[in-house]
Amino acid sequence: MKEKKTPEKRRKYDADFKQQVLQMVSNGRPVKEVAESLGIGENLIYRWRSRQEDKGAVGRENASATTDQQVLLRRIRELELERDILKKALAIFSRQT
């Protein structure tokens, strides 16, 4: 009887790890050596390198864009609150005169 192999769960790697791996390769270490030492597939490294060349950085642009968006949304909420307060103050002061 054949034993069924249970498929391994897909591992997720953060942007810093990917950058470190790509840095090792760009410093001259062979992709095969880096992949074996870290226990990852060579194809994965090639894919990360391809994406980096396409986008400029692996995963970082999304993280920074999200952070920038959060900062801008927070600022919008603050300004809307300020505007509402000023509208109410204007209404109060215009009634008094």
Per-residue pLDDT of the chain (97 residues; tens, 9 = 90+): 566 666 677 788 988 999 999 999 999 999 999 999 999 999 999 999 998 888 765 555 566 667 888 899 999 999 999 999 999 999 999 987 6
Asked, for residue 40, whether it belongs to a domain, the answer is yes
**Structural domain contains residue 37:** yes
52: which 2 tokens?
Answer: 């980096």
Distances (CA, A) of 76 to 65, 67, 71, 73, 81: 16, 14, 9, 5, 9
Helical segments of 27-59, H only? 31-38, 42-55
Within a domain: residue 28? yes
Domain count, the chain: 1
Distance CA 4, CA 43 (A): 25
The pTM of the full predicted model, rounded to 2 decimals, is 0.50
Q: Is residue 94 part of a domain?
A: no
